[in-house]
Amino acid sequence: MHHGRRTLAATLAALGASSLLTGCLGLGSDPDAGTNGVGKLPAATIEQKAKAAAAGATAVRLAGTVVSGGHSYRLDMRLRGNGGVGEVSTKGDTFQLLRVGDDLYLKAGADFYGADDSDKNSKAAAEKLNGKYVKVPSTDPSYQQFSGFTDKKTLLADLFVLDGEVKAGDHRKVGGTRTIALDGTKGGSLDVSLKGSPYPLRYERAGGGGTLTLSDWGQDFTLAAPAKSEVVDYGKTVGK
């Protein structure tokens, strides 16, 4: 009996310790406590609210990798309704993009344009473009692809491409902000903020298509075309 009493005492002590740990460490607590509450909603509703928040924001910063047309691009772009500005890297080349309205500008070093030291004409043409903004004609094949990197509406629409049925996943964190994951049953994941507006904060494309983080939601910025002295006309300069 004495042994039994000790066992009961030990059990009660253990239960007390467990309760203490639960209270102090928050084990078993509501993961949505103190949040905006979207984590408790059905996946379709969370997705709808995230879309609305993203569409309603005046601006956003988007950074990470995108695989497009068989090529991998690293982006760091600031986007708003009428255009965007930022840096793109691919295959060891880095260039800047700036779009204001329908006007797209690209700025890069001479190496980007394939300067050939053995070809005087090629080298001279590349040097004319070195460090200058090149206005890309809308008829150029690269216009459509590169302008897409500066288009807030287009890039944000891609965030909501999750393969298969969309389900609510784990509670996580992105940059210290608590999130709820939306997972496609066949691939892709989107982290939605549980603080303030339910903005998308991270997107992982299915099939290794890249990962993007989104920040600075609603933090507007000035977007203006470069001075004429900083621009060369692509159509009249390249190849000369």
pLDDT of amino acid 125: 74
pLDDT at 96 over 90: yes
Which of 2-11, 14-23, 65-74, 228-237 is predicted with the least confidence, judged by mean pLDDT?
A: 14-23
Compute the mean pLDDT over every residue in the chain, rounded to the nearest whole number. Answer: 84
Higher pLDDT, 172 or 66: 172
| Position 126 confidence tier, pLDDT thresholds 50, 70, 90 | confident
**Residue 216 contacts residue 197 (beta carbons within 8 Å):** no
Question: Which parts of the chain are beta strand (E)?
Answer: 59-68, 71-80, 83-90, 93-100, 103-107, 133-136, 166-174, 177-184, 189-193, 200-204, 211-215, 231-233
Q: Supply the pTM of this predicted model.
A: 0.79
pLDDT of amino acid 196: 97
Token output for 34: 């103190």
Which of 113-117, 162-166, 217-221 is predicted with the least confidence, judged by mean pLDDT?
A: 113-117
pLDDT at 1 over 90: no
Mean pLDDT of 213-228: 95
Q: What is the three-state SS of 15-54?
A: HHHHHHHHHHHCCCCCCCCCCCCHHHCCHHHHHHHHHHHH
Higher pLDDT, 205 or 128: 205
State pLDDT tens for residues 13-71: 554 544 444 444 444 588 899 999 999 999 999 999 999 999 999 999 999 998 877 78
Q: Tell how strand 133-136 and strand 231-233 pair up.
A: parallel
**Residue 150 contacts residue 98 (beta carbons within 8 Å):** yes
Query: How many other CB atoms are found less than 10 A from the CB of residue 100?
Result: 16
State pLDDT tens for residues 197-208: 999 999 999 888
pLDDT of amino acid 65: 94
The 3-state DSSP class for residue 131 equals coil
The CA–CA distances, whole Å, from 42 to 15, 37, 168, 182, 214 equal 35, 11, 7, 10, 23
| Position 104 confidence tier, pLDDT thresholds 50, 70, 90 | very high
The CA–CA distances, whole Å, from 175 to 56, 139, 191 equal 22, 40, 11
pLDDT of amino acid 21: 45
pLDDT of amino acid 223: 94
Would you list the domain boundaries of the chain? 41-55+156-215, 71-154+222-237
